[in-house]
Amino acid sequence: MKLILLGAPGAGKGTVAKMLTALDGSVQISTGDILRGAVQAGTPLGKEAEAFMKRGDLVPDSLIMGIMEKRLQEPDCAKGFLLDGFPRTIPQAEALKVLLNKLGITLDMVVNLEVPRDIILDRLCTRRTCSNGKCQAIYNVKSNPPKQAGVCDKCGNPVVQRDDETEEAILHRLATYNQKTAPLIGFYDKEGQMFTVVCTSSDVVVNAVKAKLGM
């Protein structure tokens, strides 16, 4: 499948993406994971992106498009991909349209995960992430804690609260989402590609996507 997953930070895009990749071998492409990996590795991209990310601001469109142009041409994308956290602005969506045309790729649809704001806030404040840039497994202190407190089940590295998951940064990220990313719903609606699901659980979204794709 070739999908864009839209939704506020904390809507569950990453979890849903991981469940969908297990169905058909498509790959999850999370620009947030790619950027955090680059920051941790101290690459030039990471150095450029770090300050924006810490504040909860978006990284400039040109940096993101550079990442995506390369990533979408890697061989593992041939079976399909789930774009998680990209596009985040109208210019990114327009540039993606041009890029997909150039690469001869047609999207199946854009899935919009709708989640009430109070649930999102609670989820983000209690979310914890594996500090290993190559793992980045997600936990939740309330609903999905690691077996041993503070230690990743998958790789054994410390599980931490992300720099951009302080209350101040979270509120800023949500405001940025409303201002810059929410307009994409209208953009993809006009393109006839939008499929909105009220995300009461990840299973609900996965089943709705499967039904829509006839899987």
Nearer Cβ to ligand AMP (71/210)? 71
Q: How far is CA 187 from CA 119, 127, 145, 195, in A?
A: 26, 30, 37, 12
Nearest residue to ligand AMP, using CB?
A: 32
**How far, in Å, CA of 45 to CA of 38, rounded?**
6
Which listed residue (36, 88, 123, 128) is catalytic?
88
**How far, in Å, CA of 163 to CA of 167, rounded?**
10
Q: What are phi and psi of 100, to 5 degrees?
A: -65, -40
7: closest CA among 109, 87, 104? 87
Identify residues 103-162 at the interface with ligand AMP (CB under 6 A).
none
Q: Where does this chain touch ligand AMP (CB under 6 A) — which range of 27-35, 70-78, 115-123, 186-194?
A: 27-35
Which listed residue (71, 102, 173, 210) is catalytic?
173
Minimum distance, C-beta of residue 92 to ligand AMP, in the bound complex (Å): 6
Q: Does 64 bind ligand AMP (CB under 6 A)?
A: yes
**How far, in Å, CA of 92 to CA of 160, rounded?**
30
Nearer Cβ to ligand AMP (154/215)? 154
For CA atoms 67, 72, 182, 199, the dihedral sign is: negative
Nearer Cβ to ligand AMP (157/211)? 157
Q: Does 50 bind ligand AMP (CB under 6 A)?
A: no
Choosing from 7, 12, 32, 146, the residue that interacts with ligand AMP (CB under 6 A) is: 32
Q: Per the omega criterion (within 30 degrees of 0), is the bond before 87 cis?
A: yes
**How far, in Å, CA of 10 to CA of 98, rounded?**
28
Nearer Cβ to ligand AMP (46/56)? 56
Q: What's 137's DSSP letter?
A: -
Q: Does 15 bind ligand AMP (CB under 6 A)?
A: no
Q: Does 37 bind ligand AMP (CB under 6 A)?
A: no
Q: Which residues bind ligand AMP (CB under 6 A)?
A: 9, 31-32, 35, 52-53, 56-59, 64, 85-88, 92, 164, 173
